Structure 1
Amino acid sequence: MSRETSFSDSKRNSTQHSAKQADTNSSVKKKIKCNNDLKIFVVALSLSFMCKYMSGIVMKTSMIYIERRFGTTSFEAGLIDGGFEIGNLLVITLVSHFGTKFHIPKLIGTGCLIMGIGSILSGLPHFFMGYYSYDTSSNFKPLENSTVTYTVCTTDENSEGNMASSVLPEPGCKNESGSHIWIYVLMGNVLRGIGEAPVTPLGIMYIDNFANKGHSAFYIGIVQSLSVIGPLIGFLLTAFCGKMYVDIGYVDLSTIPIKSNDSRWVGAWWLSLLTSGILTIVAGIPFFFIPNNLKKRKLESKIEISLDTPNTKDSRCQNLEFQNPEQIKELKGLAGYFHSLKCLLSNWMYLVYLILTLLDFSSLVGYSTYLLKYLEQQHGISVSKLNIIFGIIMPIVGISFFMGGFISRKLRLSPIGKLKLLFISHTCAYILQVPYLLLGCESKPVAGLTVSYNGNDPGTAPQNITFSFCNSDCNCDANLWDPVCGDNGVTYMSPCLAGCQSSIGHGKDLVFHNCSCVGVSHVQSRNISALLGECSRTEDCSRKLIYFLVLNSFAFFSIGLGKSPELVLMFNNIEPELKSLAIGVHSLVMRAIGGILSPLCFGAVIDLTCLKWGSNHCGEQGACRIYDTVLFKNTFLGLYLGIKAPIFIFCIVLLIGMKKKYQENEWTFL
Structure 2
Amino acid sequence: MTDAMETSVEPKEDVPFLEKPLTDPEKSTKCPDDAPVTEDDSRDTRCGFWICKGPFLQRFATEKMYVVLYGFAGCVLVMTFSYFNGTITTMEKRYKIPTKISGIISVGNDISTMLTAAILGYYAGNGHRPRWMGVGLLTIVAFCLLTSSLHFIYGAGEDALKLTKQYGQVNETLAQQERDQKLCQSSAADCIQEVGQWVPQLILFVAQLISGVGQALFYTLGIAYMDDNGTKSKTPAMLSLSTFLRMLGPAIGYSLAAVCLRLYIEPTLDPLIGPTDPRWMGAWWLGWLGLAAITLISAVLLFMFPKELPSAKKRRQQVTQTESKDLKELSFWDLLKTVKRLANNKVYVFNTAASILYFFGYMAYWIFTPKYIETQYRQSAATATMAAGTVAFGFSAAGVLLSGYIISRYKPSARSMAAWNAIVDFMTVAGILCYVAIGCEGSDRMNSMTTLVAGDSCSASCHCDYVHYAPVCSPENVTYISACHAGCSERTKDDLGRTIYTGCKCITSGTLMSEPEHLYTVDGTCPVDCFHQFLTFLAVMCFLKLVGASSKSTNLLIALRCMPQEDKTFALGLGSMVASLFSFIPSPIFFGWLIDNYCLVWGKTCSNKGNCWLYDTKSLRYALNLTAASFIFVGGFLNIAVWYYAKNLKIFDEDENIEDNNIEMKEKCVKSESRQ
Question: Given the two structures, how large is their TM-score scaled by the length of structure 2?
Answer: 0.76
Deviates more, 1:69-78 or 1:240-249: 240-249
How many residue pairs are counted as aligned between the two chains? 582
- For residues 476-495 of structure 1, the aligned pairs below 5 Å read 476-477=464-465, 479-495=467-483
Which residue matches 2:32? none
Deviates more, 1:295-304 or 1:428-437: 295-304
Q: Secondary structure at the match of 1:497?
A: coil
Which residue matches 2:297? 282
Task: Output the amino acid matched with 2:404.
Answer: G
Spell out, residue by residue over 1:493-539, the C-alpha distance to the aligned partner (whole angstroms, 9 max, x if none). 1112213343224999423234333355647698443222222223x
Does residue 253 (structure 1) correspond to residue 270 (structure 2)? The answer is: yes
In structure 1, what is the Cα distance between the partners aligned to 2:565 and 2:66?
A: 28
**Residues 261 and 643 (structure 1), Cα distance of their counterparts in 2 relative to 1, 3 Å cut:** farther
Q: Is the contact between residue 118 and residue 574 of structure 2 (CA under 8 Å) also seen in structure 1?
A: no
Which residue matches 1:320? none
In structure 1, what is the Cα distance between the partners aligned to 2:460 and 2:563?
A: 72
Q: CA deviation at 1:152?
A: 8.3
Q: Is the contact between residue 445 and residue 491 of structure 1 (CA under 8 Å) also seen in structure 2?
A: no
Q: Secondary structure at the match of 1:299?
A: helix
Which residue matches 1:633? 621
Spell out, residue by residue over 1:554-609, the C-alpha distance to the aligned partner (whole angstroms, 9 max, x if none). 12211122222112334565556544443232211112221111101111111111
- For residues 60-99 of structure 1, the aligned pairs below 5 Å read 60-99=85-124
Which residue matches 1:190? 209
Q: CA deviation at 1:272?
A: 1.9
Which residue matches 1:113? 138
Q: Secondary structure at the match of 1:512?
A: strand
Match of 2:507 among 518, 538, 543: 518
Match of 1:37 among 61, 73, 79: 61
Gaps of 5+ in 1: 1-26, 305-324, 453-460, 663-670
In structure 2, what is the Cα distance between the partners aligned to 1:428 and 1:303?
A: 44
Structure number, greater radius of gyration: 1
**Residues 156 and 564 (structure 1), Cα distance of their counterparts in 2 relative to 1, 3 Å cut:** closer
Which residue matches 2:262? 243
Spell out, residue by residue over 1:243-279, the C-alpha distance to the aligned partner (whole angstroms, 9 max, x if none). 1222333xx324x44x433433322111122221222
In structure 1, what is the Cα distance between the partners aligned to 2:235 and 2:637?
A: 35
Which residue matches 1:396? 395
Q: Is the contact between residue 349 and residue 657 of structure 1 (CA under 8 Å) also seen in structure 2?
A: yes
Does residue 644 (structure 1) correspond to residue 625 (structure 2)? The answer is: no
Task: Output the amino acid matched with 2:608.
Answer: E
Which residue matches 1:467? 457
In structure 1, what is the Cα distance between the partners aligned to 2:163 and 2:91?
A: 24
Task: Output the amino acid matched with 2:627.
Answer: L
Q: Is the contact between residue 364 and residue 587 of structure 2 (CA under 8 Å) also seen in structure 1?
A: yes
- For residues 577-592 of structure 1, the aligned pairs below 5 Å read 578-592=567-581
**Residues 426 and 100 (structure 1), Cα distance of their counterparts in 2 relative to 1, 3 Å cut:** closer
Which residue matches 1:10? none
In structure 1, what is the Cα distance between the partners aligned to 2:205 and 2:533?
A: 35
Task: Output the amino acid matched with 2:617.
Answer: T
In structure 2, what is the Cα distance between the partners aligned to 1:103 and 1:218?
A: 25
Q: Is the contact between residue 117 and residue 217 of structure 2 (CA under 8 Å) also seen in structure 1?
A: yes
Deviates more, 1:597-606 or 1:331-340: 331-340
**Residues 36 and 354 (structure 1), Cα distance of their counterparts in 2 relative to 1, 3 Å cut:** closer
Gaps of 5+ in 2: 1-45, 47-53, 651-676
Q: CA deviation at 1:57?
A: 0.2
Which residue matches 2:246? 227
Deviates more, 1:566-575 or 1:264-273: 566-575
Which residue matches 1:356? 354
- For residues 509-658 of structure 1, the aligned pairs below 5 Å read 509-519=498-508, 522=511, 527-538=518-529, 541-570=530-559, 578-616=567-605, 618-658=606-646
Q: CA deviation at 1:489?
A: 1.0
Match of 1:202 among 204, 215, 221: 221
**Residues 74 and 330 (structure 1), Cα distance of their counterparts in 2 relative to 1, 3 Å cut:** closer
Task: Output the amino acid matched with 1:253.
Answer: D
- For residues 339-378 of structure 1, the aligned pairs below 5 Å read 339-378=337-376
Alpha-carbon RMSD: 3.9
Which residue matches 2:31? none
> What is the percentage of aligned positions where both structures have the same residue?
21
Task: Output the amino acid matched with 2:148.
Answer: G
Q: Is the contact between residue 71 and residue 179 of structure 1 (CA under 8 Å) also seen in structure 2?
A: no
**Residues 649 and 523 (structure 1), Cα distance of their counterparts in 2 relative to 1, 3 Å cut:** farther
In structure 1, what is the Cα distance between the partners aligned to 2:497 and 2:152?
A: 26
Q: Is the contact between residue 400 and residue 557 of structure 1 (CA under 8 Å) also seen in structure 2?
A: yes
**Residues 132 and 32 (structure 1), Cα distance of their counterparts in 2 relative to 1, 3 Å cut:** closer
Q: Secondary structure at the match of 2:614?
A: strand
Which residue matches 1:410? 409
Q: Is the contact between residue 58 and residue 235 of structure 1 (CA under 8 Å) also seen in structure 2?
A: yes
Match of 1:299 among 311, 315, 319: 315
